[in-house]
Structure 1
């Protein structure tokens, strides 16, 4: 399966990031020691200028074609700067040791950790709504203000980092997978992809819709303790709204702490999520439309205070 984006060949931009040697990154991460591990293939490093970074090791067996594709993608995303996108710092591009270096986000963990309570107190509604807005702003920037347009490919709550002030940094965007790991993507993957093996901007919209349902419910995207027709969060959200049983979807923490106005806004956000996850990609909202809808929800909140 090929993910090569022909549009990337048209860009004349050069890589706007630092080229590191494999030796430099090994030194920065103490030879990729367990002490520096941030989980999976990501390690905390410290450059020679003392700057902290996150180093993501990619496959050690990239083909020449895959490495060429990666170079083109990095040329594009190195120019994709936005306050809510994780900044690319540099890379090491050799066949047997390929790594991508990002800015290091201090202290906040990721959205999934905050939704399940593993980072302490659960998020209040105002914070959740702001996070939804910031992620939408980041995706809209990728889709409409980058040339060529950049797909995220793998949006999920664990790829939405939060700093100490709980401000969003979306990570892992723009680098196309050579294959999709269906186990890791379960619950997020665009159903249309399973039929066509093609991803598009509407695939990102679908994944964002799933994230919105997570924000509203706090629930995992797949839960085998649920009834068969509600195992996925997409099914749970669709059934709950269709049957007028929103209380089955909304996070119990919000029921206890949120105002009636907050709960109505969470219901409106859930309805927006359902539009995003339509089985028909053409029926889904665009990210521009989604962003406007979230801003309208926030405006309503502000005007009623």
Structure 2
């Protein structure tokens, strides 16, 4: 670029300097010009006595010196050409500076964080671009901040383990859900953020949350989802309403939706995907209570022990290897939450107690089962359906992974309990 500028400058000044030196050489030869106009040629000796008696006669001598004038013109030309040179250089550098700034502003992700502890976003950009280059929009932080009223409590949908969900109105016709991650800049959060954007950029399913874009601003990391008006399942079950808005049928619909999403990840993705962090706070609900799985920060490819066993009935081990049975166990915990209205881990005054430890011994007692249900759904379902759902939940949370069913089998067990109008096969007469 510097060489190009020097060549441009040389070509621009060359004609001016040639003109100046040509002019100077000509003016040097004619530094003084003498014009003599006389009627008669009179010697000086004869003319002297007559000078005093006569008025100035015809002889007129005029001498015009142009050397000083030529020098001034030359200096003016050199100064003007030099000024022109600096002006052109300044304009070229200004254009380059503006081009670089515009390029950086549209780059999407800032290359460096303002904090010393920040982590470079180059790996994020590289990995995202390598998967779905140009298809994942990058949102300006100011737009998300304005749409959420500076992430105010009035726009809060739910709180999760690693961040909060906010309702954002980007304009009169566009509303989105924004997940603002906690601990931006930390290595673990960066990896989870990158992993989720990567996976959601590739996965498309009606029960998997749709990714609309993301935002990286200083220490803040945001992921933009489709609008989910009813927040998370956790906020519906354990928030201020305490599950009162979730009927038995809606709870079964949510369970079937989750199972469908998991079946897609386990059976229809190539290679199969394991979510690894399935919980009620990561299940989001839209205005019609359609459930969608979110938060793919820990998702990874399924690792089987023996590829020859097939996808339908393999045995998986938990010894450091990822299995689809992890997701089945987590689904069983969510099913228990839907039935009992309790959190996955209760924290009384003493030691925390898992819902699995508390519920499994009680679920085997059919006579007592209706008494331990969530009060919001007591007496609102067919007892046969209740027993079947409880049996599915117990199977899913078995300590031995090989005893747990495949998610496809779980789905086929639950669909007959859901009315047709909600996506099941149950016909209510």
Aligned to 2:406: 286
| 3-state SS in 1 of match to 2:298 | coil
Give how far 1:140 is off: 1.3
Write out per-residue CA displacement over residues 24-77 of structure 1, whole angstroms, 9 at most, x where no aligned residue: 4334434434444434433332336852112222232233x8646743542332
Give how far 1:270 is off: 1.0
| 3-state SS in 2 of match to 1:302 | coil
Q: Does residue 13 of structure 1 match 2:131?
A: yes
| 3-state SS in 2 of match to 1:257 | coil
Q: Provide the rounded CA distance (Å) in 2 between the counterparts of 1:201 and 1:96.
A: 34
TM-score normalised by L of structure 2: 0.54
Name the CA shift for 1:21/1:121 in 2 (closer, same or farther; >3 Å).
closer
Q: Does residue 78 of structure 1 match 2:201?
A: yes
TM-score normalised by L of structure 1: 0.73
Name the CA shift for 1:13/1:91 in 2 (closer, same or farther; >3 Å).
same
Who wins on radius of gyration, i.e. which is larger?
Answer: 2
| 3-state SS in 2 of match to 1:175 | coil
| C-alpha contact (below 8 Å) 1:133/1:294 kept by paired residues | yes
* Mapping 1:1-305, distance limit 5 Å: 13-14=131-132, 16-40=135-159, 41-47=164-170, 50-58=173-181, 59-63=183-187, 67=190, 70-71=193-194, 73-93=196-216, 96-106=219-229, 108-115=230-237, 118-119=240-241, 121-172=244-295, 174-176=296-298, 199-223=322-346, 231-244=353-366, 245-258=368-381, 262-298=382-418, 302=426, 305=429
| C-alpha contact (below 8 Å) 1:76/1:148 kept by paired residues | no
Q: Provide the rounded CA distance (Å) in 1 between the counterparts of 2:374 and 2:157.
A: 28
**Structural RMSD (CA):** 3.7
Name the CA shift for 1:72/1:147 in 2 (closer, same or farther; >3 Å).
farther
Choose 219-228 or 94-103, whichever is displaced more: 219-228
Any unmatched runs of 5+ in structure 1?
1-8, 178-191
| 3-state SS in 2 of match to 1:83 | coil
| C-alpha contact (below 8 Å) 1:44/1:52 kept by paired residues | yes
Q: Whose relative contact order is higher, 1 or 2, with alpha carbons under 8 Å and at least 6 apart? A: 1
Q: Provide the rounded CA distance (Å) in 1 between the counterparts of 2:257 and 2:156.
A: 27
Q: Provide the rounded CA distance (Å) in 1 between the counterparts of 2:375 and 2:148.
A: 41
Q: Provide the rounded CA distance (Å) in 2 between the counterparts of 1:28 and 1:253.
A: 35
Q: Provide the rounded CA distance (Å) in 1 between the counterparts of 2:330 and 2:136.
A: 28
| C-alpha contact (below 8 Å) 2:244/2:376 kept by paired residues | no
Name the CA shift for 1:115/1:100 in 2 (closer, same or farther; >3 Å).
closer
Write out per-residue CA displacement over residues 270-291 of structure 1, whole angstroms, 9 at most, x where no aligned residue: 1111111111122211211211
| 3-state SS in 2 of match to 1:207 | helix
Write out per-residue CA displacement over residues 249-277 of structure 1, whole angstroms, 9 at most, x where no aligned residue: 3334444333xxx1211111111111111
Q: Provide the rounded CA distance (Å) in 2 between the counterparts of 1:171 and 1:158.
A: 9
Q: Provide the rounded CA distance (Å) in 2 between the counterparts of 1:139 and 1:117.
A: 25
Q: Provide the rounded CA distance (Å) in 2 between the counterparts of 1:298 and 1:31.
A: 41
Name the CA shift for 1:92/1:197 in 2 (closer, same or farther; >3 Å).
farther
Q: Provide the rounded CA distance (Å) in 1 between the counterparts of 2:427 and 2:354.
A: 35
Choose 161-170 or 134-143, whichever is displaced more: 161-170
Name the CA shift for 1:35/1:238 in 2 (closer, same or farther; >3 Å).
closer
